[in-house]
């Protein structure tokens, strides 16, 4: 029978009293009192937590509108957005979950809204910029090398003018597997004399990669190519090859070949260059250093299933050498020394190999095709000769 309002409280109290008996049969008690088992257990929990006051009927009116996010949660979302102006809903939610996991936020993760709700919070608070809308159509198709340091992608982000009227050329290096930012360096030019010391610093800290992917512009390479399609190598290339690093040049006119580095440079522009003005190189470098730490250790990455790059990166086991061993080739190789003009003599003919290798020995090896030889500097195939 339905209970009368005036007896509701006394019956609840009686039920709880009986249910607390050592040999109480909950199923039977609930049936006798005309309530469901979930309701019976709910009353017990409330009694154990708050005593008799816990049994008082609670208003079913929500504390806030059903579709409104609690103000404290909305404040967290907006706080992250103000700090990271280009982050979208998925990154914001994952960052909050990560901070809760680290113990930096005392919030129940189940209270965090869905990404779609976070987007609505941003829109309602005028925190969405049309420029933030994704421009790509369809999902990205990702290819990555299987291990950290299998390949680094390296390039210069487009230059920009500083407050002192000089130019800054950001040098960016990204690990292909983990998307870990190896370097974001504010450089005053794009010359080898500037780039080489920066690379050495990276090698001393992170070790040597197996290969580096770069484009064909100075100082990485030259748009000029041999008949076999091989690019002219630069002195920077020769130094890297001498360290045991393979050089891969992207196809001219196809920047998507360095997709991860291009994507990183786009993120650098969207999250740093877009919102800052720098007085000088030192000011730019300080900002780059702070952002790079966030990028590697805090910023969820969509290509990594919203994990952070540092969760997938480890330093290379190949240390930067203090001394370089002499260059040696196999007993069947025909060794030639490159003259100061960048040429070698072979089969009574002169062949250009490149001034980058002047004074260095190269190996000439027969190829499967008749009258064809391949020229190697250390491990790198640098040209094909046809006699």
pLDDT of residue 49: 82
pLDDT of residue 1: 39
pLDDT of residue 316: 93
Residues 303 and 173 grouped into a single domain: yes
Would strands 380-386 and 372-377 be described as parallel, antiparallel, or unpaired?
antiparallel
**pLDDT over 70 percentage in the chain:** 90
Residues 288 and 254 grouped into a single domain: yes
Residue 237 near residue 221 (C-beta atoms within 8 A): yes
Give CA–CA dist 356/69, Å, rounded: 63
CATH number reported for the structural domain that contains residue 171 in this entry: 3.30.420.10
Residues 210 and 159 grouped into a single domain: yes
Angle at 162 between CA 161 and CA 163, to 5 degrees: 130
Whole-structure pTM over 0.85, yes or no?
no
Residue 142 in any domain: the answer is no
Residue 224 in any domain: the answer is no
How many structural domains are present in the chain? 4
Give CA–CA dist 35/367, Å, rounded: 87
pLDDT of residue 76: 86
Residue 228 in any domain: the answer is no
Residues 266 and 339 grouped into a single domain: no
Q: Is the pLDDT of residue 3 over 50?
A: no
Residues 111 and 165 grouped into a single domain: no
Which two three-digit tokens encode residue 65? 């509108």
Q: What is the mean pLDDT of the chain?
A: 85
Q: Of 51, 30, 55, which is closest to residue 40 (Cα–Cα)?
A: 30
Give CA–CA dist 249/258, Å, rounded: 9
Residue 137 in any domain: the answer is no
Domain-ending residue, one of 311, 326, 353: 311
**pLDDT over 90 percentage in the chain:** 47
Residue 212 near residue 248 (C-beta atoms within 8 A): yes
Residues 168 and 262 grouped into a single domain: yes
Domain ranges, residue 31: 5-55
Residues 114 and 193 grouped into a single domain: no
Residue 239 in any domain: the answer is no
pLDDT of residue 254: 55
Would strands 152-156 and 334-337 be described as parallel, antiparallel, or unpaired?
unpaired
pLDDT tens across 241-277, in order?
999 999 998 876 555 556 788 889 999 999 999 888 9
Q: Which residues contact 299 (CB under 8 A, 6 or more apart)?
A: 84, 87, 91, 95, 308, 309
Phi and psi at residue 258, in whole multiples of 5°?
A: -105, 50
Residue 135 in any domain: the answer is no
pLDDT tens across 339-368, in order?
999 999 999 999 999 999 999 999 999 988
pLDDT of residue 175: 96
Residues 204 and 269 grouped into a single domain: yes
Label residues 201-210 b or e (16+ Cβ within 10 Å = b).
ebbeebbbbe
Q: How far is CA 219 from the centre of its chain?
A: 25
Q: Of 165, 162, 199, 159, which is closest to residue 182 (Cα–Cα)?
A: 199
Residues 158 and 255 grouped into a single domain: yes
Give CA–CA dist 273/219, Å, rounded: 24
pLDDT of residue 44: 85
Q: Count CB-CB contacts under 10 A for residue 351.
A: 20
Residues 199 and 299 grouped into a single domain: yes
Q: Is the pLDDT of residue 140 over 50?
A: no
Residue 112 in any domain: the answer is yes
pLDDT of residue 137: 45
Beta bridge partners of 185: 171
Residues 158 and 209 grouped into a single domain: yes
Residue 314 near residue 322 (C-beta atoms within 8 A): no
Rounded to an integer, the average pLDDT of 41-69 is: 73
Residues 181 and 293 grouped into a single domain: yes
Helices and strands of the chain, counted as H and E runs: 10, 12
Which two three-digit tokens encode residue 62? 């929500």
Residue 76 in any domain: the answer is yes
pLDDT of residue 257: 55
């Amino acid at each position: 029978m339905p209970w009368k309002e005036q007896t509701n409280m006394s019956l609840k109290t009686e039920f709880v009293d009986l249910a607390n008996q050592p040999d109480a049969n909950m199923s039977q008690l609930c049936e006798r009192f005309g309530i469901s088992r979930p309701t019976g257990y709910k009353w017990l929990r409330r009694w154990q937590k708050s005593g008799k006051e816990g049994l008082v009927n609670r208003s079913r009116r929500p504390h806030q509108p059903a579709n409104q996010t609690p103000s404290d949660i909305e404040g967290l979302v907006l706080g992250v957005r103000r700090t990271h102006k280009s982050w979208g809903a998925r990154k914001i939610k994952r960052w909050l979950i990560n901070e809760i996991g680290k113990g930096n936020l005392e919030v129940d993760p189940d209270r965090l809204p869905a990404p779609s709700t976070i987007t609505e919070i941003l829109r309602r608070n005028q925190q969405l910029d049309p420029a933030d809308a994704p421009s790509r159509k369809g999902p990205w198709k990702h290819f990555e090398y299987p291990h950290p340091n299998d390949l680094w992608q390296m390039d210069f982000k487009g230059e920009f003018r500083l407050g002192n009227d000089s130019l800054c050329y950001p040098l960016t290096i990204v690990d292909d597997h983990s998307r870990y930012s190896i370097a974001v360096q504010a450089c005053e030019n794009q010359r080898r004399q500037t780039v080489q010391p920066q690379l050495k610093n990276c090698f001393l800290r992170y070790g040597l990669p197996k290969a580096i992917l770069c484009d064909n512009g100075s100082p990485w390479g030259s748009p000029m190519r041999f008949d076999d399609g091989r690019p002219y190598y630069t002195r920077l290339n020769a130094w890297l090859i001498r360290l045991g690093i393979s050089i891969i040049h992207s196809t001219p006119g196809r920047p998507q070949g360095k997709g991860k580095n291009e994507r990183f440079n786009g993120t650098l522009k969207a999250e740093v260059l877009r919102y800052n003005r720098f007085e000088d190189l030192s000011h730019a470098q300080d900002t780059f250093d702070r952002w790079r730490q966030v990028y590697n250790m805090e910023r969820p990455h969509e290509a990594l299933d919203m994990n952070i790059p540092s969760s997938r990166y480890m330093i290379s086991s190949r240390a930067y050498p203090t001394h370089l061993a002499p260059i040696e080739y196999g007993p069947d190789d025909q060794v030639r020394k490159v003259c100061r003009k960048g040429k070698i003599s072979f089969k009574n003919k002169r062949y250009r190999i490149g001034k980058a290798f002047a004074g260095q020995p190269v190996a000439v090896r027969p190829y499967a095709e008749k009258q064809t030889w391949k020229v190697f500097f250390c491990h790198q195939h640098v040209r094909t000769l046809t006699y």
